[in-house]
A and B are shown apart, each in its own frame.
Chain A
Amino acid sequence: MIAALIVLPVLAAGLAFATRSRRLREGWLVGTASAHLALVARLAFERPPLVPGAWLGLDDLGLLFLLLVSLLFAAVAVYTVGYLRREPSEPRGDFSEGFLFSNEPEPTFVGCLLLFLATMSLVTVSRHLGLLWVSVEATTLASAPLIYFHRHRRSLEATWKYLLVCSVGIGFALLGNVTLVAAASGQAGAALDLDALLRLAPTLDPAWLQAAFLLFLVGYGTKMGLAPMHTWLPEAHGESPSAVSALLSGALLNCAFLGILRAHQVLEAAGAAELAAGPLRAFGIFSMAVGAFFLVRQRDYKRMLAYSSVEHMGVVALGVGIGGVGVFGAMLHALSHSLAKAGLFLTAGNLLARYASKRAEDVRGALTVQPRTAALWVAGLLAITGIPPFALFLSEFTILRAALAFDPWLAAVFLALLAVAFAAMIGVGLPMALGRAPAGVVR
């Protein structure tokens, strides 16, 4: 049953690569996405019990992220069908620099999209840290061609950076795996099996365990977009098609976060959670600061959304680092950030299609040009910056309360950075909806 979550999209990907008819391919894509979602829903209601020692299994944490992946993919699949129909098949000029470029062949794009779904699902159901690593690296490889959909210089640069930075980053997580095995040396059967590791955790060598966690944090943190390893993120999110950006930001970053959480679980079971807390808080605050800094006066609205992801991943890491109620806040934050950010990227795609510019200052009066898209854009902006009726307010408030109890200074810095990010995003994003549309934009 769980294996079907991976096998199904892989088979569909094979078919998508081979199919020449566009309608059939669209069918594969949307059909697989809905079947996957149905399967996940069924698994959520009748969860199969965890088998100790099995490599695949669904626990609470895995289910949460799996639900997100499946839900977002279903939305993106529908969006992609319309998107691909709009895309011209012949070479055309780039709208900001004028050079000619063409698109990746559609079978490759749709096939890789489905493979991306398979690999992300595998991440969420892995109960073996080795398998987890293999699948996280596989997500990088499956998604690299997606970023390179528009075959031109900038997307090529973004793809190369993504591939190299993430592969090297995840290499550190592999080193973390090796170190974890070393920490468990002498314990027969522990290896990298999560259940066995959790059971044997108190007997593991603490020094090796700490080293392993740091390597996991740096490794998967690269993929999660924690500063200062986030350098691939704005480029990849800015240059890839909006549907892909939505998946990267909404689903992929969480999958990488799951890798860190698994290592965190092991440390917790070993009674050494405080060894993990300090680095998590440090990376969290630093990511928030870097994100907020680059949000201020950001000119490109897709990059703005990307830096906002860096900031929010910082919030999530900080929440887990504070511990207690903060962990709950972090989970809620990861969930609601994914939904809001994916929605924002999809609406940004609509704006981009109409205004033909990624510069925020070129987009004005969206409320009169595309009323529904613009309304969603404004709602998304308010949600992502943590305005009260939205879930992100609740999660940020929860983390703030935990931070206050932990250290008032930390809470003050947290609040200040949130305020900067809020002002910056509203300052860039709101004028896009208001004002008069520039001449030449079709109503």
Chain B
Amino acid sequence: MTPLAVAAVSLVALVNFRLLGGSRLVPIIRGAALQGALLALLNVLLHVQELEHGYAALALGTAVIKGFALPALLFRALRQVEIRREVEPLVGYNLSLLCGAGALGISAALAARVSTSAAAGDPLLVTVALFTLSTGLFLIVARRKAVTQALGYLVFENGIYGFGIAVASEAPLLVEMGVLLDLLVAVFVMGIIIFHIQRDFSHIEVDRLGLLDDAGETSAAGRPS
């Protein structure tokens, strides 16, 4: 790998620590976006000689979608629900960082084993890809807010993408596009659901206030689902 590529991969790893240790949502969404865009550009950088035009264009498209479109969807959801930060995560930030360091170590050990086989990818890239993947999973299980969990899903997908770049960059163009489209729609649907979660949960509380007198009647007269 060229020094530029090494720098990009290292930056991806550093972003993971930022994601694990940060509580304010706007910067961590930006971090995940930066990470996705970096990985897509890395794909171009690493395979610049062998890459066909279609793939190069797709990689650039991926960079745009991961760097701008997906975070834009999350920012929109964030504006609607008016949340600024993740409060009371299930696992504290310091402990999260510590887990991150552990995950990085395990990823490096795993990558060392992988690189002895025939389909070896670059060990540094495999390490960082596995680390990113586990960071994403960690964010999904260790944070309470739906937005942060959706973000964790994005980071998880970034990790898979990175792993793909490292060990196999020959999936057909149409499939790559399909995967990207699925990701886009998934985040779109998640954005809508996040909005409904916010709206319905406050909505319900307001309803409860109005229904306190005749709550019994309402539930008895209620219709089935």
Contacts and interface: CB of A to CB of B under 8 A. Distances in A.
Given A95-B222, A356-B224, A183 B172 contact: no
Interface in B128-166: 133, 137, 140, 146, 149-150, 153, 156-157, 160, 163-164
Interface stretch (B25-33, B51-59, B93-101, B184-192): B184-192
A98 interface: yes
Interface residues of B, number: 49
A173 to B, nearest CB: 10
A352 B197 CA distance: 26
B168 interface: yes
Contact of B197 (A93, A100, A150, A156): A156
Contacts of B211: 93, 98-100
Contact of B196 (A131, A134, A138, A156): A156
A97 B219 CA distance: 6
Contacts of A168: 137, 140, 153, 156
Interface in A343-377: 352-353, 355-357
A100 B214 CA distance: 12
A274 interface: no
B167 interface: yes
Contact of A191 (B153, B172, B189, B193): B172
Nearest to A164: B149
A436 interface: no
Contacts of A99: 204, 207-208, 211
A171 interface: yes
Interface in A88-133: 88, 92-100, 128, 130-131, 133
A167 interface: yes
Contact of B117 (A93, A148, A207, A353): A207
A208 interface: yes
B171 A171 contact: no
Contacts of B156: 168, 171
Contacts of A88: 223
A137 interface: yes
A192 B175 contact: yes
A429 to B, nearest CB: 18
A241 interface: yes
B88 interface: no
B122 to A, nearest CB: 13
Q: Is the interface of A mostly helix, strand, loop or mixed?
A: helix
A148 B193 contact: yes
Candidate in A134, A155, A168, A182 with the most chain B CB atoms within 10 angstroms: A182
Contacts of B182: 134, 137-138, 141
Candidate in A99, A155, A239 with the most chain B CB atoms within 10 angstroms: A99
A181 B224 CA distance: 49
A191 B171 contact: yes
B4 interface: no
A333 B201 CA distance: 41
A95 B219 contact: yes
Nearest to A137: B182
B37 to A, nearest CB: 20
A47 interface: no
A51 to B, nearest CB: 16
A128 B186 CA distance: 22
A408 B218 CA distance: 56
Contacts of B149: 164
Contacts of A159: 193
Nearest to A440: B220
Given A98-B218, A99-B208, A192-B172, 11 more contacts: A93-B221, A95-B222, A98-B216, A98-B219, A140-B186, A141-B182, A163-B186, A164-B140, A168-B137, A175-B160, A207-B117
Interface of B: 117-119, 121, 133, 137, 140, 146, 149-150, 153, 156-157, 160, 163-164, 167-168, 170-172, 174-175, 178-179, 181-182, 185-186, 189-190, 193, 196-197, 200-201, 204, 207-208, 211, 215-216, 218-219, 221-225
18 contacts: A93-B219, A95-B223, A98-B222, A100-B211, A131-B174, A137-B179, A138-B182, A151-B196, A153-B204, A156-B200, A164-B190, A171-B153, A178-B163, A178-B168, A179-B168, A186-B118, A241-B225, A355-B224
